[in-house]
Amino acid sequence: MQTPMQTPVQTPTHRRRTRRRAAALACSSAVCLPLCAGVAAATDPGDGPGFPFWSEPLGRPARQERVWQERGRDRDAVSLQRISEEPTAVWLTSGDPQPQAAQVTGEAALAHRIPVLVAYNIPHRDCGQYSSGGAKDAAAYRAWVARAAAGIGDRKAWVVLEPDAIAQWATHCLPADAAAERLGLLAEAVRAFKALPGTSVYVDAGNAGWISDQKMLADALQRAGVDQADGFALNVSNFHTTEATRTYGDRLSALLGGAHYIVDTSRNGNGPLLPAENESWCNPPGRALGTPPTAATGSPLVDAFVWIKRPGESDGTCRGAPPAGFWWAEYALDLARAVPGRP
């Protein structure tokens, strides 16, 4: 780990990130933010095909990094760069998603990058658990999806559709009326987003430790429109290793006629908490960052490793954490400091 007093080696990646961070900090005023965010993340001749994704230059980790620098926590700020400098998905939740989707995709277009968006507003979201909420009914959800699509427009984006929605449907935690309409609503959302000229869609399929009946899962994904999407997503907000996830994903892909998929590697550097305990998925200690986002996966079926869950955002009010989705700086620091493979 380089200390502030040392001079780091200026690799192409380091130079690119240094320029991006300098531009972002220089453009910190509210008036300048939308334009400068795109400029700050602009493409660089040293960027290869394995790094196509947009990074939010003034997101929560970057702001936290600045606060720690101001308070003299320079070593912690440097550690947090392992999170703040990586592309992470932007979650569209309740409220009107159109302005946020438009701003993110607009900034990414200026940067010649692809933003990853998460559509997360299905009725009866999270079966009343830590991330409960969602649209009030099917009609409200259709209107919400239409607004999200309008925000994306003809710009490029990857959309991860409704984390946990199908896996929770498979566990029978939904009210009967919500269960009956859920897969159809997802299929409608796939069609709405895929009608856009530059949008790729990946339907969430849970994780390698959740639904063991993959035939049932494949059937549900088909009813949810995965054949019209670009594939499915695995390990969102979870911790299963990339190796275990690829084994699970390849089997599921075979049941879907060779469907492609993406993997959330944001926090899977040490795998899941073992032995498994109650709520072992919720802010488990001793975890580590996984493979940084890239489209160079070495697998013809895996389109990308992506950071869908932002490392440092809480999974829920367990283990002394803030509510789901809230920034938890010390947990982020633990993730950034951890050495993968050493839980």
Asked if 217 contacts 170 with a C-beta cutoff of 8 angstroms, the reply is: yes
- What are the beta bridge partners of residue 160? 118, 202
Residue 278: predicted pLDDT: 83
6 has a pLDDT exceeding 70: no
* 303 catalytic residue (yes or no): no
Q: What is the mean pLDDT of residues 13-40?
A: 37
Residue 57: predicted pLDDT: 84
Amino acid type, 6: Q
Cβ neighbors of 162 (< 8 A, separation 6 or more) are: 119, 120, 121, 122, 125, 186, 189, 203, 204
Residue 341: predicted pLDDT: 80
Least confident residue range of 33-42, 191-200, 236-245, 328-337: 33-42
- 35-57 burial, b if ≥16 CB within 10 A, otherwise e? ebbbbbbeeeeeeeeebbbbbbb
Asked if 271 contacts 343 with a C-beta cutoff of 8 angstroms, the reply is: yes
Higher pLDDT, 42 or 184: 184
Q: How far apart (Å, rounded) are the C-alpha atoms in residues 193 and 185?
A: 12
Upper half-sphere CA count for residue 207 (Cβ side, 13 Å): 19
Tell me the pLDDT tens digit for each residue of 43-89: 343 355 578 999 998 899 999 999 999 999 999 999 999 999 999 99
Residue 71 burial (10 A CB sphere; 0-12, 13-18, 19+): exposed
Model confidence at 29, pLDDT cuts 50, 70, 90, reads very low
Model confidence at 235, pLDDT cuts 50, 70, 90, reads very high
Asked if 194 contacts 227 with a C-beta cutoff of 8 angstroms, the reply is: no
Which of the following is catalytic: 76, 204, 230, 315? 315
Residue 49: predicted pLDDT: 59
31 has a pLDDT exceeding 60: no
10 has a pLDDT exceeding 60: no
pTM exceeds cut of 0.85: yes
Q: What is the mean pLDDT of residues 195-211?
A: 98
Higher pLDDT, 195 or 16: 195
Residue 48: predicted pLDDT: 57
Residue 170: name the closest of 216, 223, 126, 224 by CA.
216
Asked if 308 contacts 237 with a C-beta cutoff of 8 angstroms, the reply is: yes
Q: What is the mean pLDDT of residues 189-217?
A: 98
Tell me, rounded to whole angstroms, the distance of Cα 198 from its chain centroid. Answer: 19
Angle at 263 between CA 52 and CA 148, to 5 degrees: 65
Least confident residue range of 12-16, 66-70, 159-163, 255-259: 12-16
CA separation, residue 295 to residues 16, 60, 114, 169, 299 (Å): 18, 24, 11, 30, 10
Q: How far apart (Å, rounded) are the C-alpha atoms in residues 96 and 139?
A: 14
Residue 58: predicted pLDDT: 87
Residue 47: predicted pLDDT: 54
Per residue, the 3-state secondary structure of 70-127, as one string, reads: HCCCHHHHHHHHHHHCCCCCEEECCCCCHHHHHHHHHHHHHCCCECEEEECCCCCEHH
Tell me the pLDDT tens digit for each residue of 300-341: 999 999 999 999 999 999 999 999 999 999 999 999 999 988
Tell me the pLDDT tens digit for each residue of 99-141: 999 999 999 999 999 999 999 999 999 999 999 999 999 999 9
Model confidence at 343, pLDDT cuts 50, 70, 90, reads low
Q: How far apart (Å, rounded) are the C-alpha atoms in residues 184 and 173?
A: 17
Residue 67: predicted pLDDT: 97
Which of the following is catalytic: 126, 264, 303, 334? 126
Which of the following is catalytic: 164, 204, 230, 334? 164
* 96 catalytic residue (yes or no): no
Higher pLDDT, 41 or 143: 143
Q: What is the mean pLDDT of the chain?
A: 88
Model confidence at 161, pLDDT cuts 50, 70, 90, reads very high
Residue 245 burial (10 A CB sphere; 0-12, 13-18, 19+): buried
Instruction: Please tell me what DSSP assigns to residue 310.
Output: P
Cβ neighbors of 79 (< 8 A, separation 6 or more) are: 1, 333, 336, 337
* 44 catalytic residue (yes or no): no
